[in-house]
Amino acid sequence: MAYAAERLPGEEKKGLGGRLSRFLSKGPLHVLLIGLALFWLTPSFGLLITSFRTAADNSESGWWTVFTEPRQLTLEPYKKILANDGLITAIFNTIKITLPASVLVVLIAALAAYAFSWMEFKGREWFFLFVVTLIVVPLQMALIPVARIFGIVNIFGTVTAAIVFHIAFGLPFAIFLLRNFFIGLPHELLEAARIDGASEWQIFARIVLPLGMPAIASLLIFQFLWTWNDLLVGLVFAGENPPITVFIQQQLRQFGANLEVIAPGAFLSMILPLIVFFAFQRYFVQGLLAGSVK
Amino acid sequence: MRLLRHHSSLAWPYLAGLIVLVALPLLGTLWLALTEFSGIVAPRFVGLANFETLIGSDRFWLSLGNSLVYVAIAVPLRLLGTVAFALLLNNRFKGAGAARAVAYLPTVVPDVAYALLWLWILNPLYGPLTAGLEALGASSPGWLTDPWAARFSVAFMGAFQIGEGFVIALAARRSIPQRLYEAAAVDGARPLLILRRITLPLMAPILAVLALRDVLLSFHTNFVPALIVTGGGDPRYATFYLPLYVYQTGFRYGRLGYASAITVAIFAIMAIILVVQYRLLRRWRLT
């Protein structure tokens, strides 16, 4: 499929006419894709527009009325929310939680997944089954008891508490996922490296990591997003240092549905995950496996 | 080539962390489930009384049924969307990066804002969904007043937030060696055959992990929509899901012991589902 989509050299046409005819020849597919994209964007787009309207407008009419009355749009909500220190602090708290939590989960899970897929040790199957089983533990179940443990070691309410909790509950799925990716890596490469006398660390760093990059990048985006969007853990454990999701939730509690704070706040909180997505998605695009095995 | 070394010792820090943060808390909740506990006075041991109440409780069975219906609608929708997007947007084309970001975008919207937004979209009087359907000449049900329409609406909302699975499915598609497609092209295989014989089977181990996770997660993710969009499980308890039940019991009525018992029951149900799924995956050799 990817193969068929690449253009053949002879087909390359220059100029507007060529481009237009090429576009029209793929017409139905393009219309479908664009239609799908528009449909998909509607909720987020609505939120964006809402974030540029005043509280009064938002309570009277829906965001789509801007198409007939574009004068409703205003920067006021953003000015107001950026003057509020709470939001900026909240965004920084989220970053402080999300960065270490996602990087450490990916790092630990990659090592563990390598062991589960390519090293032999006693009880490997059982241990792996145990890890898989832990996916089922709903994190709600652990909230109250872990809060007590965190209280004893005196980190309750801090950013560290949220990080530790996210790592603990992120690992089972991360290990399961990476293990299923790693086990599909070409056998021949690893065997050859072992015969050549490479150590486990060398095999991990030189072969498994580079080849598993699409999987690792996707897990990183995944974990980053998951932690970034989390409300519950932040609410319970990082109470004195609320992350952005908790901040938005508090706006909801205090003043009813406070859309003129929630909408711009939500949009500001979406910027960084999108940057992370753009930064890491190029790892999917490079076909790293191409040419490594004949 | 066999490499039997004592690597298992490396696992101890991980195991210790799991025991402290996951296994012990689990026991704590199990203990609370056997007590009557309001959060103010010390817990009083009542044996299995909470579970007896639970089995006789209509609300429990109602919320369990609703949750299962939600999983049955939402999970297939979400998986279908995940796979379709991963395959469509795997190709290189102009604006592919932007298109991938579009697919991923709804997932980044914070839950509360997302729910409030849908409240507007589903509005029966001014909502664009109703207006759009009427413009097409179709009548629309009261999205939030008809029980089944509300169930579908909540599941449909969730179907947009598949960015996490999407990146992983995309990576899974990317990991399939290009030479297989080249060989298939040489043999003149049709796209549908390639999809059935190469793409889907080779993505299957990863899709299986995603499906497993999605089923388990879907028992929890309907909490915010049920609280905000359908105002606590309306209409006529059609969207009264398990997490909402736990929340109301524990935090509104202050019955923490009974709420723990519900949580333990949910855990048991999910454990059964996990075992069944894992067995199936094993049988199909996907894990």
Q: Are residues A208 and A104 in the same domain?
A: yes
Q: Kindly report the average pLDDT of chain B as a whole number.
A: 83
Q: Which amino acid is at B40?
A: I
- Residue B61 has a pLDDT of 94
Last residue of a domain, one of A8, A42, A74: A74
Choice among A83-92, A170-179, B12-21, B115-124 with the minimum mean pLDDT:
B12-21
What are the residue ranges in chain A where pLDDT is below 70? 1-27, 253-257, 284-294
Exposed/middle/buried for A76, CB within 10 Å: 0-12, 13-18, 19+?
middle
B274:A133 CB<8 A? yes
pTM: 0.80
Proportion of chain B above pLDDT 90, given as a percent? 12
- Residue B78 has a pLDDT of 94
Last residue of a domain, one of A74, A94, A113: A74
- Residue B122 has a pLDDT of 83
Query: How far does CA B165 lie from the centroid of its chain?
Result: 11
pLDDT at B102 over 80: yes
- Residue A16 has a pLDDT of 60
pLDDT at B63 over 90: yes
A290:B181 CB<8 A? no
Q: Which helix (H) or strand (E) holds A18?
A: helix A15-25
DSSP string computed for A50-114: HTTS-HHHHHHS-GGGGGT-GGG--SHHHHHHHT-HHHHHHHHHHHHHHHHHHHHHHHHHHHHHH
Task: List, as ranges, residues 129-168 from B with C-beta within 8 Å of A.
Answer: 160, 163-164, 167-168
Residue A7, domain member (yes or no): no
- From the list B2, B177, B195, the residue facing A289 with the nearest CB is B177
Residue A9, domain member (yes or no): no
Q: Are residues A111 and A240 in the same domain?
A: yes
Quick one: closest CA in A to B256, which residue?
A: A144
Phi and psi for B36 in degrees, rounded to 5?
Answer: -105, 125
Residue A212, domain member (yes or no): yes
pLDDT at B253 over 90: no
B178:A3 CB<8 A? yes
Which tokens is B250 given? Answer: 């524990």
Q: Are residues A48 and A150 in the same domain?
A: no
| ipTM for the predicted complex | 0.75
3-state secondary structure A241-258: CCCHHHHHHHHHHHHECC
Q: Are residues A189 and A140 in the same domain?
A: yes
pLDDT at B156 over 80: yes
Q: Are residues A149 and A192 in the same domain?
A: yes
Phi and psi for B232 in degrees, rounded to 5?
Answer: 85, 40
DSSP string computed for A273-292: HHHHHHHHHHHHHS-TTTTT
Q: Are residues A50 and A106 in the same domain?
A: no
B185:A127 CB<8 A? no
Number of other CB atoms surrounding residue A202 within 10 Å: 13
A183:B112 CB<8 A? no
Q: Are residues A168 and A257 in the same domain?
A: yes
Residue A230, domain member (yes or no): yes
Q: Are residues A225 and A88 in the same domain?
A: yes
- From the list A123, A141, A284, the residue facing B29 with the nearest CB is A141
- pLDDT tens profile B125-139: 767 777 777 777 777
Q: Is some CB atom of chain A closer than 8 A to the CB atom of B272?
A: no
- From the list B8, B170, B266, the residue facing A121 with the nearest CB is B8
pLDDT at B70 over 90: yes
CATH number of the domain to which A98 belongs: 1.10.3720.10
Choice among A14-18, B23-27, B31-35, B186-190 with the minimum mean pLDDT:
A14-18
CA-closest candidate to residue B194, choices B182, B207, B212: B182
Last residue of a domain, one of A74, A109, A140: A74
- Residue A7 has a pLDDT of 43
B112:A262 CB<8 A? yes
> What's the CA gap between B102 and B281, in Å, rounded?
32
A123:B116 CB<8 A? no
B91:A50 CB<8 A? no
Q: Is some CB atom of chain A closer than 8 A to the CB atom of B31?
A: no
Chain B: closest CA distance from residue A43 (Å): 7
Please state the domain count of chain A.
2
Chain B residues within an 8 Å CB radius of A145:
24-29
Quick one: closest CA in B to A289, which residue?
A: B177
Residue A1, domain member (yes or no): no
> What's the CA gap between A263 and B142, in Å, rounded?
26
Q: Are residues A106 and A140 in the same domain?
A: yes
Q: Which of A41-55, B181-195, B217-231 has the highest mean pLDDT?
A: B181-195
Phi and psi for A256 in degrees, rounded to 5?
Answer: 70, -155
CA-closest candidate to residue A111, choices A212, A214, A198: A212
pLDDT at B200 over 80: yes
pLDDT at B221 over 50: yes
Chain B residues within an 8 Å CB radius of A255:
none
Q: Are residues A37 and A95 in the same domain?
A: no
Task: List, as ranges, residues 79-118 from B with C-beta within 8 Å of A.
Answer: 87-88, 90-93, 97, 99-114, 116-118
pLDDT at B4 over 50: no
User: What is the domain range of residue A186?
Assistant: 80-289
Chain A: closest CA distance from residue B58 (Å): 23
Residue B32: strand, helix, or coil: helix
- Residue A61 has a pLDDT of 73
Q: Are residues A143 and A31 in the same domain?
A: no
- Residue B11 has a pLDDT of 60
- From the list B181, B195, B278, the residue facing A132 with the nearest CB is B278
Chain B residues within an 8 Å CB radius of A200:
3, 7
- Residue A215 has a pLDDT of 87
pLDDT at B158 over 50: yes
Chain B residues within an 8 Å CB radius of A274:
101, 104-105, 108
Q: Is some CB atom of chain B closer than 8 A to the CB atom of A265?
A: yes
Residue A93, domain member (yes or no): yes
pLDDT at B12 over 50: yes
Q: Are residues A69 and A177 in the same domain?
A: no
Residue A89, domain member (yes or no): yes
A120 strand-pairing partners: B4
A120:B202 CB<8 A? no
Residue A14, domain member (yes or no): no
> What's the CA gap between A30 and A34, in Å, rounded?
6
Long-range interactions of A3-10: CB distance < 8 A, separation 24+? A3/B178, A3/B181, A3/B182, A3/B185, A4/B185, A4/B191, A5/B91, A5/B92, A5/B93, A6/B92
